[in-house]
Structure formats: C-alpha cells, structure tokens
Structure 1
C-alpha cells in the first residue's frame, strides 16, 4: 500500500471565487501552495530563540517551529517537535502513555505553566501524571517528544503510528490527504490512516456545502480540517480546499467536493462504500469520482 506521505503544508480558508465546474478543478482552493524542494526529508533548522527571558528551573518552554513538509509545528525549548497521543483524548485528566511508552515518547514536563512564544498561552495547561509529575498540555491534550528525533526540525514520530501526530501552534494535528491503490479501483484518495475518501453526489460539486449531517455523518464521517492540510506529492495542492459545515466545523474539499470516510471501512485499502446507494463514490487523486462501473476486488457495500 502506498501510504500518504505529507509533502506540502497548506493553510486553507474558504474562498469566495466563482465556481468552476470542470472535473479536476476546485472553486474553494487557496492559491500559492508550494511544495518543499526536498519533499519529505527532515530539514535541520536553527533552534527557535523567541521564548521570553525569565525561565526558572522546572519550567518548560513552548515555541512555534518548522518541519520541512509539515510547516509550522510546536516544539520545546531545544526545538524538538512535540506530539499528541490519540489515546489520551481531548481534555482528559488521564495520561495514557506511561512506562515503556513514556521512554519512547518522553512527556514534556513542567512544574509551573510553561513560557510560550508563537502559541496562544490560553491553549496551554498542565496535567498530573500517575507518578505525580506535571505534564504540559496544549489544546487540552498532553504533549510529548519522540526519542528518535535527534534535533530541531525533525519529526520522525509522524510516521510511527496513526495514534501519534505532531501538534501545530494552534494545538491541533494536521489533516492529511494521501493516496493508496485499492484493488479493482486503482489509486484513490485516503486520509492520514489510509482510509478511502468518498464524495457524495447529493452535495453537488462546488456547492460550498455538505448535505450529510446527523445519522448520515455518523455513517459517513466528514474529513475535518484541523487548521492545516498536508497532501501527498501526487496530488495537486490547488484541488484542496475547505468549507464550513452547519455545525461550524470546517470540512476538507477536493476538487470542489466535500470528502468523507466510511464507518464500515475497517482497515486501510478497503472501499466498501464505493457505489453505495448510487450516490457515494471513492475519489481519484484528480478530484473526480472513480468510475461507478468499477468495483473493489474485496469487501462490498
């Protein structure tokens, strides 16, 4: 399987440009997206020095840094990339990464609220770990380093597991759009975990709205934008955009189509939702739907 490899960080906003109806174009794309010259290769960057003076012993520091291929990330005082763990849960008072996990993913500890630079201090807090030490939280989630990240600008932990993701200065994780090959369908769009992405024909291309809410959204979870979207090298960044849903969240669009996953796709490489109801289709990297006549070689719908 060809897992998504984030190679370009794109900060997106809903655009008000005129709609373009040709397949492979996106009326809600943001211009100016660029790709790094050495895509996917960690870049050694200087350690940020924007943290205010006055740090005391036992006080952590948080700074906005940059990782090649990911864009802005949150780092500690030495420039080490910080990560969040999905099993901790948002806003939870319980820390799930302890013991051997904490040796691989050292928690960012601080006796008092950390100094910050390039990140909203209101997003930052502390949580007490099982051993009594205090760990820094950002956006309600405990943050960690990765033991194999040897210096500033490195983020090897981003590819370790779907449970681990880098933290942006906004306290969020990036949204990723990639590609993988699905038997019978060819290359299709995927999310960070490799799950197939779908379009819903009732939404309408370039309509600027999603019509899948409530029970529909539980069966077909919308792909939400976490403030920044990274895309695989094979995808035109000009196809990527986002729209505001009825509940106020931002949903990723590709080629003008709001995109979703399917709750019954249990693993990467499955496309059980393709053709469902004659309205749901897997998506090609061009932003178009996969030919309705084609069928995945395994699974069903």
Structure 2
C-alpha cells in the first residue's frame, strides 16, 4: 500500500458508613483534595466526525497536501474488522477501510465520483478482489466507470479507499461531507452495535478500559474520593468539561467488577455513577467512540479499568 494516501450520599449512622466502607474499600494514594484541575478541551479530530469536513470542495480533498491519484491497488482478500469508532467495517487485504458514497447508486450500480473526487477517494479495482470469512461472495460485483475501468461493488455499492487514511485501521473518511461512510460487510453503512450502559473496550494503547453506552471513554478524577463515601470534587465549570456519568443498573453492564458499582448523590442533588465507588465521567474533548483525549489531562484525569482503577496513572 502506497504511503502517499495511507500514510462515579453520605449516610447518617455509623453502621451505614461501615457498610459503605466495606463495599467500596480504599484505594491508597488516589483520594485527595484540592483545587479542581479541569484541563483544556482537546481538539477534536479533523475528519473523523465532522459533517462539514472537507466542505471546501465536497470531497474532503481541499487540503494542500493531497497528491494526485496513483495507479489503484488491488483490493486483495477482503476482510471484516471491528473499528471502535464505526463498528464492523469492510477492509481490503491490507486492512484499509473501504467506503461508499451516498451520491452513488446500487440499483443499478453507478459511481458519481470522478476527477478530483477520485483523487481523494480512489476507486477500488474489481480485479483481484476476493471474499473472506464474514463477506458474502455473492455480494461482490463490479461497475464500469466513465474511464472504462472496472470498480469493485459490494451489495451494488461502488467501493473506495480514502486518501487521508494512512495506516490500516484508520477510518478518517467516516461521515466526511455527510455523504461518505465506511462500508459494512454487506455494502450498507457501518454502524456501532448497541452497547450496555457500561462495558469494556480494548484500546490499542491503554488496554481494557470502561466505555459508556455510546462507546465513549470513561474517566476518573484523582481529586475525587471513594472512601468512606463517594465524593466528587468536579463541580461547576469542571462538569462542563467532564460530564458526570448517569446511574446505570448493575444488569446493564458487561465486564465491569461489581464491587462498588453503584450510584451516589452529588452535592447538587444529581445522581452520578461510580465504579469501585469512584465517580466516573466522560470528556467533552472526546468527539467519537474510541477517543481517549482525556487521558492524563492535568495529571489528574485517567481512563478507568474494569476494576475501577486508573489506567496509566503514576504509581
């Protein structure tokens, strides 16, 4: 593949406090007090989520670093990959995401992407494409483009790569211009499966971390406390940057340690979820599932492991 285009209420009685202490335990070295450290909102990724990305020419190819389209490379053996931001997507043999264009048609198959559009979205040649496990061979086909070349179709939809995807697993073309979408194995638009209220995702860099029902990374604040009761130190402007995760029933979780998995009442009367009695939050700087822009912000915000501990925090 060429690098030019891959490249978480205080109880009154002592007995209740004791019970809560037993449920939550104490994690040494993490509860502290002090001023809030909100952290700055991280910049959102350029093309992954914005429906206005590439609005300059409608193709997402208005950046000066775009290069002319090279000879299209064969798709090879197609595969199905799980993308944290998009869901199950169709990839080529090298692991690069394949896309479909809303302005194309599937019945009959027709491509509406030529010229500059085809430089940003190189058509995938039909020749040499093979179905793999999870891909129905009967859905593979071809369409003749205006230049006479044959383009791969899946479920009738012409397939493309994206010039701003520089490595296998990238999905920077998702929702560009509100018309480009990663392809599901059947040629339809890829979508994330419905998730439990809290579940576990394996991040390439952080390992197993907790995500909410939308697939967004969940964080802990080092200035909060879990013992003897859950208490949040994030208030006011802090909550605008770090929204509190709402209560989730225990049976609406998957892969999360049950000890200390409970809601508590914040000083403002709002209920917030806790894991191992630690308050949990999401980050406004994360714009899409799979983002971990809040990791390490201010040296006080960290992603959360399935047992409620922080991931990547200094020991």
Q: What TM-score does the superposition give when structure 1 sets the normalisation length? A: 0.40
The structure whose Rg is larger is 2
Q: Which has the higher strand share?
A: 1
Q: What TM-score does the superposition give when structure 2 sets the normalisation length? A: 0.39
